Structure 1
Amino acid sequence: MIPSLQRLSKPTDTAASSSSGTPRRPPPSTPRPTSSTHAQRRAAALERQPPITFAPRRSGASGEGASNTSFSAEPTKGGTKKTLWQSWLSLTPRTRMTMGIAVALFSVTGMMVYKQVEYLVPVPKAQKEASSPDEPHKPRLFAITAVDRKPKAPAQEDVKTASTASTALLACLMLPMAASRLRMGTFSKAGSSSQTQGRAWNAMLARRSGMVEKSRTFSSGRPLAQRRKGSSVATVYLSRSFSPVPAKASASPLLPSDADSSPGSADESLSMLLRGGYIRQSSSGIFTFLPPGLNLLKKIETIIAEEMEAIDASRIDMPTLLSNKLWKKSGRDEAMGSELYRLKDRKGGEFVLGPTYEEEVTKLVGGEVHSYKQLPVKVYQMTRKHRDEPRPRLGLLRTREFVMKDMYTFDASIDEAKKSYQEVQGAYERIMDRLFSSDVEVDVKQQNWRIAQADSGAMGGILSHEYHVEDPAGEDDLLVCSSCSYTANSELAASRPAGDTMPLVSADVVVRLYSLSNDPVNAGSLLALVSARNSSINEVKVAGVLRTVSAGSKAAVQQLYPTKQGEIHWDWKDRPEGPVVRFSQIKILADHSCSSLSPDDITEAVEEAVLSYSDPSGDAPSSSDSPRLLDFFPSSPSQEDFLSYHDVRLAESGSSCVSCSSGTLTQSKAIEVGHTFILGTRYSQSLGYQFAARPEVDTETGKQKAQERRYFQMGCYGIGVTRLMGVLAMKARRSFLALQQTQDSAGVASKGDASGESKPGFLWPKHLAPYSHVILLPPSAASHPQKEVETLLTRFQREQEAAPGDEGEHTISVLVDDRPNLSMGAKLTEADLSGAGEVWVVGKEGSRRVR
């Protein structure tokens, strides 16, 4: 066996060595020397380490473990050594051919070198004289005589000899590579390529020799690859790049006529984005991003991508044009209604422009993942979405086309799905902290972001949270506790009922009757919702409770009593028995505030409502011999089973907090910028995608049960990127106005508009600004001081390298306004709209910073 193979093979036991007929060398009596070669140290390290496995994914595999194709560093035959012939056969044909050519080339060149060696070795004088006179002696290479000390020109045969020697040297260099190929034969497996084995071998040596990159952390504590500290300058000259014509100060004609033009509002910020050349409006709710706006958008996306990759999420890119088949199969084709953009191809195939991607990603992952061993899976994308918004408004906050980050998780159980949910929530908190942390030193109330409990809505699922930014322009209402961290959307917020609002008798409650079926003969269960008379009900909560009770029913829930029209629609002439007889049982759903009543009082109130619903006049009979509730529904269970309590009351500002009991809820407007859901099996079950679950062990017999196939537990997590840009623009606009007000109060000259309007401009945080520095050159094209610009660029780079903070490569974005057709006043106005932290003006006497 080759020595290199002996080093890499695992030694067998004594019995195996004895049976092979070869006595094993006894261990040396002297201790092992401290000094050893690198090859010996590496061989000893390989013997001490556990086997290395590599598991690439193979396309087209199915079933449990199909994707885990692995090979190990252990010997292939149960710990026995491989022979040289076995190692040779385990190599690929290409490797064997390469090694054969190398060995043949080495043999031929070795023979040629041996033939030519006599030219280089001195011939004794006696041997010269003994040689035949007819055979002249061949001169040595570069022979030197005693008469002429200058070297002679080499003959043609000498040149051929030199080329032969260089070929031999090349062959010698190829032998180590061939030997390494042979060593890798001990790690091979049928069906695996030598290229893959080489990568695994190099990776194994890199890990075991300590060649692993060190890590560093950002302020949020995320490990990222360490990079050498340095900075580069990205300079943009406006005279050489696309620079749109500055928009007029008046509002854009595409903005709505009732736009809010108050300073810092969404519409006013949109006007400033248009004026500053960040965006251009293509049509209502559809925008084009220009270079400054695209730079800002990319910085937001970079922060999001870093946090997604920090939790091991893989980025993908799904198509915008989606087939409508999956939407029909999941039932969301009807649920989305008119918000979907629908279109047909020339063959009549139905497609939609993707507003969301739950169906598409379920198909993607469900077709690739077949075993619990491949879970969990986290994938995300940042792409453009489309939604047929009936009335686009509020600038970038509500548009028809928008950029959004989608993330989807797939887990084997609901507990693992909740664990992934908490992990993504931590990443979302870091994203919000990084986006809304400001280094702008102005006296302005910064916007606070909050996590609020929310309703899942049409998305479905069992758990949902929204990420909001408090702002008067928001369309959502949040209820925030003054004492604890409880925050919830008003659609789902809960509160403790006040003592004076709790019912005391049956007359203090209101009963509403609902039906789960439109069948006039057998309508199933009748639902009775009981709430306090002096409190309002939350329609969103009521719909959620009814969905929970009617699980499995596809019929729409409709309210029967009391009706909005005040009349009960029933054909009393043809069916005088009334509408109640078509129901087989009743379920009573009472609000928590009704817990002050006894179950008999609640039943009495429901009886009155049922009798009124079953009477043509709509009034309950007052006679004592009127039918009881169980007379209508004899198959109903006992009172303890058909009566349940739920939260359906509308929480209002000023109510007591349900979490801490001591705080008071206050209402505020907010803008939703993110939403997270635990979807459960909502989409995997409707689309029919399963995986082979982990085998369970029978506790009684101790044997392993048959492996089951289960549906994926999914999670969905979204962030509106363009909506974040709109919110950050409002914040930057207010910071600029606060800075302007501070300068005015300090006596600093601030040029405003003649009409008394606020000065246009933004003040972005340093880590989000499209440009970190702006250099303004004089309008005269002949007097551009290029040396002064280069001096400033060098200064910016040195300041960035000397700044304290995380080490790493930083790119400084510098905007140089060298356009000759604009005055210095117009350039200063556009510099304010750029939102850069530093603005420099270059003149004849040098440069100075104006902000």
Structure 2
Amino acid sequence: MFQTCSPQVAALTRASLTSIRQLPFRASICKASTLARQRACLSKTWLPTGGLAQADKEDGHSKLVRAGYLRQSHPGVFHMLPLGLRVQEKLERLIDKHMLSVGASKVSLSSLSSQALWERTKRLEAYGPELFRLNDRKAAPLLLAPTHEEEITTLVAKLVTSYKNLPLRLYQIGRKYRDELRPRQGVLRSREFLMKDLYTFDSSVDAALQSYEEVRAAYSRLFDELKIPYVVAEASSGDIGGDLSHEYHLPSSMGEDMVISCNSCSYVANEELAVAKPPSQDQSAAKARVWRGVSKDRTFLVNVWYPNVPGLSESDINTHAIKTVVPGLDSSMEDSIAFWTQDSTKESGSSQKVLKLVNVVDRRMSPTISESIKGSSHPQLLPAGSNLDISSIKIETITRSESGQSINALRIRDGDNCAHCESGKLKVEKAVELGHTFHLGTRYSKPLGANVQMRENVMAPVQMGCHGIGVSRIIGAVANHLADEKGLNWPRAIAPFEVVVIPGRGVQDEDAHEIYDQLVGEKQEVDVVLDDRVESFPWKMKDADTVGHPIIVLLGRRWLSDRMCEVQCRRLKVKEDVAFDELPVYINNLLSQL
């Protein structure tokens, strides 16, 4: 063969045969070089850390910024940097795993939605100024979707026509948009955010409720894996709609929601639905105070009458409870007195005038108060300085809800009696909402024509459910919850890296690589990163605490003398020297607790 080839080809062929004879040795070199190329090293990752001083009272968001996870682009809009993206991607994979457990298929829906669809479901005006609206070049009205019930229902209505195609479970993880009036607390309340939405479609109510419970179980497994102290509360469906919903909360002083729980029974509810046992003693009409509000369309005014007793103030008014009996209440207006004391036509910017005054009477008030305020002569019907003509305004008084229950116009407070057991006392705590499950029924399938043919050859609207998880919100909430004075402190499930290896002075690169390869192993079950940057050893240790790696492995003097590594874990208060051969088992035991 060599005689029929050119000398160059013959030489290459001999070299190839030689390589084949030496294959085991060459393969081992190839494996080692491939592993070296795949080692995660901080020197190869863009980490804009440093340059930002630590504040005295630093919240989780400030720590995320200082540690180089994210940066603000515009008010309420953030860029995810490499570390932040690793956390986000790990959280998404965790969600994918638990969505797969309920048989859900992943889709990706457009961020643009048609305003016409939202008009059909009567949500366009209900969302009000929180919607980002725009027109395309042909003047077609669009919006940046804060949620996707309309779009997913329309999609399914076109493609699913028979009960045989159900149940159907579709989910996405995508960007959502809400024009928050006051974005705050970083990714906890932002204008652009990442959400997971699961939409379920079933042929009957029973099947839909079964789907609902399966998703709730999957949510519990997901939050259990994050190892955070979440609570599940009965909740109101709000603008989404439906008649059954639960919220998943992380108790936190940074939270904007209030969760009420009983210390004796299993009762847990958010502030919108929570009820306490009614007080046994009424207050007199002479001791009444009034909280004032207006409707969103500025056509009616609202007086809320509650007892004037020590310790109560306007901040104790539960606007969620008021909205159940006065749905049009504008609960976003912090001070409505200015509206009451000037021309309402000018304030509203339209030709509308005040047509009605609605009095809402708290259940603690004496029954005589209802009679005394029905006329137009009560001195507290209007605030001092009002120029409204009370004689031209219709007065309505509400003392009970549509279900016949007396109205609790005040927020529940610590120590109130539980309405669901005999001896329980209620506890009120702030919390961050991480997830929400809704049974929607036919709220969207009816107006959008999502019907399927049933066994009886009749068409019926599908039963729907909607189940959300705030992906970017979880990142902010967990960061804030687990942070301490040294920095962030991630749970294993979503930590950017589970273990960081920091070699000290005099430690050779080969030693650090040996530790790295020992921890990663052939199955690569541990997510390790090597801090091979040129910074000093103390700087790297402080940076590792700031970033919040769950476990730190230090190679110092004992490594050079005894091949012992120092293992640190702040959350578990561990600081121990571990022999090289025992390191994988020891590290995995720690990680199983994080």
Q: TM-score, normalised by structure 1?
A: 0.51
Q: Residues 188 and 473 of structure 2 are in contact (CA less than 8 Å); yes or no, is this contact kept in structure 1?
A: yes
**Aligned counterpart, 1:676:** 437
Q: Residues 411 and 712 of structure 1 are in contact (CA less than 8 Å); yes or no, is this contact kept in structure 2?
A: yes
**Does 1:248 find its partner at 2:51?**
yes
Q: Flag the 1:533–1:779 CA change in 2: closer, same or farther, 3 A.
A: closer
Supply the distance in 1 between the matched residues of 2:552 and 2:426 (Cα, whole angstroms). Answer: 43
Q: Flag the 1:359–1:482 CA change in 2: closer, same or farther, 3 A.
A: same
**Aligned counterpart, 1:702:** none
Supply the distance in 2 between the matched residues of 1:412 and 1:514 (Cα, whole angstroms). Answer: 43
Q: 1:463 aligns with which of 244, 259, 275?
A: 244
Corresponding letter in the other structure for 2:40:
V
Describe the SS at the equivalent of 2:324: helix
State the Cα distance separating 1:495 from its structure 2 match. 0.4
Supply the distance in 1 between the matched residues of 2:478 and 2:256 (Cα, whole angstroms). Answer: 17
Supply the distance in 2 between the matched residues of 1:824 and 1:729 (Cα, whole angstroms). Answer: 25
Q: Which moved more, 1:530-539 or 1:396-405?
A: 530-539
Q: Flag the 1:642–1:670 CA change in 2: closer, same or farther, 3 A.
A: closer
**Aligned counterpart, 1:328:** 119
Describe the SS at the equivalent of 1:347: coil
Q: 1:770 aligns with which of 475, 492, 496?
A: 496
**Does 1:818 find its partner at 2:568?**
no
Once the two structures are superposed, residues 254-311 of structure 1 have per-residue CA deviations (whole angstroms, 9 ceiling, x without a partner) of xxxxxxx455x53xx2232223222233233222222322222222222222111111
Alignment of 1:647-666 (within 5 A): 647-650=407-410, 651-666=412-427
State the Cα distance separating 1:811 from its structure 2 match. 3.0
Describe the SS at the equivalent of 2:239: helix
Q: 1:667 aligns with which of 428, 435, 439?
A: 428
Q: Residues 339 and 389 of structure 1 are in contact (CA less than 8 Å); yes or no, is this contact kept in structure 2?
A: yes
Once the two structures are superposed, residues 680-727 of structure 1 have per-residue CA deviations (whole angstroms, 9 ceiling, x without a partner) of 2222223233222443xxxxxxxxxxx433323222111111111112
**Aligned counterpart, 2:139:** 348
Q: Flag the 1:508–1:499 CA change in 2: closer, same or farther, 3 A.
A: farther
Corresponding letter in the other structure for 2:50:
A
Corresponding letter in the other structure for 1:822:
E
Supply the distance in 1 between the matched residues of 2:157 and 2:402 (Cα, whole angstroms). Answer: 40
Describe the SS at the equivalent of 2:490: coil
**Does 1:271 find its partner at 2:75?**
no
Supply the distance in 2 between the matched residues of 1:398 and 1:249 (Cα, whole angstroms). Answer: 23
Q: Flag the 1:544–1:688 CA change in 2: closer, same or farther, 3 A.
A: farther
Once the two structures are superposed, residues 421-447 of structure 1 have per-residue CA deviations (whole angstroms, 9 ceiling, x without a partner) of 22211111111111125xxxxxxxxxx
Q: Residues 375 and 411 of structure 1 are in contact (CA less than 8 Å); yes or no, is this contact kept in structure 2?
A: yes
Where in structure 2 are there 5+ consecutive unaligned residues? Answer: 1-34, 345-354, 383-394, 569-594
Q: Residues 296 and 768 of structure 1 are in contact (CA less than 8 Å); yes or no, is this contact kept in structure 2?
A: yes
**Aligned counterpart, 1:728:** 478
Q: 1:497 aligns with which of 255, 260, 278?
A: 278
Corresponding letter in the other structure for 2:509:
P
Q: Flag the 1:416–1:642 CA change in 2: closer, same or farther, 3 A.
A: closer
**Does 1:399 find its partner at 2:197?**
no
Q: Residues 276 and 417 of structure 2 are in contact (CA less than 8 Å); yes or no, is this contact kept in structure 1?
A: yes
Amino-acid identity (%): 35
Supply the distance in 2 between the matched residues of 1:499 and 1:515 (Cα, whole angstroms). Answer: 31
Describe the SS at the equivalent of 1:682: coil
**Aligned counterpart, 1:785:** 509
State the Cα distance separating 1:393 from its structure 2 match. 1.8
Once the two structures are superposed, residues 712-753 of structure 1 have per-residue CA deviations (whole angstroms, 9 ceiling, x without a partner) of 32221111111111122123322xx4xxxxxxxxxxxxxxxx
Q: What's the Cα RMSD here?
A: 4.5
Corresponding letter in the other structure for 1:485:
S
Q: 1:691 aligns with which of 424, 430, 452?
A: 452
Q: Which has the higher strand share?
A: 2
Alignment length, in residue pairs?
495
State the Cα distance separating 1:354 from its structure 2 match. 1.7
**Aligned counterpart, 2:552:** 838
Q: Flag the 1:479–1:774 CA change in 2: closer, same or farther, 3 A.
A: same
**Aligned counterpart, 1:540:** 320
Q: Flag the 1:714–1:545 CA change in 2: closer, same or farther, 3 A.
A: farther
Q: Flag the 1:669–1:342 CA change in 2: closer, same or farther, 3 A.
A: same
Q: Residues 61 and 186 of structure 2 are in contact (CA less than 8 Å); yes or no, is this contact kept in structure 1?
A: yes
**Aligned counterpart, 2:580:** none
**Aligned counterpart, 1:237:** 41
Describe the SS at the equivalent of 2:186: coil
**Does 1:644 find its partner at 2:404?**
yes
Q: 2:518 aligns with which of 795, 816, 831?
A: 795
State the Cα distance separating 1:529 from its structure 2 match. 9.8
Q: Residues 64 and 488 of structure 2 are in contact (CA less than 8 Å); yes or no, is this contact kept in structure 1?
A: no
**Does 1:412 find its partner at 2:203?**
yes
Supply the distance in 1 between the matched residues of 2:173 and 2:451 (Cα, whole angstroms). Answer: 27
Q: Residues 498 and 527 of structure 2 are in contact (CA less than 8 Å); yes or no, is this contact kept in structure 1?
A: yes
Alignment of 1:56-455 (within 5 A): 235-239=39-43, 241-250=44-53, 261-263=55-57, 265-266=58-59, 269-436=60-227, 448-455=229-236
Describe the SS at the equivalent of 1:719: strand
State the Cα distance separating 1:453 from its structure 2 match. 2.1
Q: Residues 733 and 761 of structure 1 are in contact (CA less than 8 Å); yes or no, is this contact kept in structure 2?
A: yes
Once the two structures are superposed, residues 119-162 of structure 1 have per-residue CA deviations (whole angstroms, 9 ceiling, x without a partner) of xxxxxxxxxxxxxxxxxxxxxxxxxxxxxxxxxxxxxxxxxxxx
Describe the SS at the equivalent of 1:478: strand
Q: Which moved more, 1:664-673 or 1:345-354?
A: 345-354
State the Cα distance separating 1:848 from its structure 2 match. 4.7
Supply the distance in 1 between the matched residues of 2:449 and 2:475 (Cα, whole angstroms). Answer: 38
Once the two structures are superposed, residues 327-378 of structure 1 have per-residue CA deviations (whole angstroms, 9 ceiling, x without a partner) of 2322222222222222222222222222111111111112222222322222
**Aligned counterpart, 1:699:** none
State the Cα distance separating 1:450 from its structure 2 match. 1.0
**Aligned counterpart, 1:136:** none
Q: TM-score, normalised by structure 2?
A: 0.71
State the Cα distance separating 1:659 from its structure 2 match. 1.3
Q: Residues 770 and 836 of structure 1 are in contact (CA less than 8 Å); yes or no, is this contact kept in structure 2?
A: no
Describe the SS at the equivalent of 1:390: coil
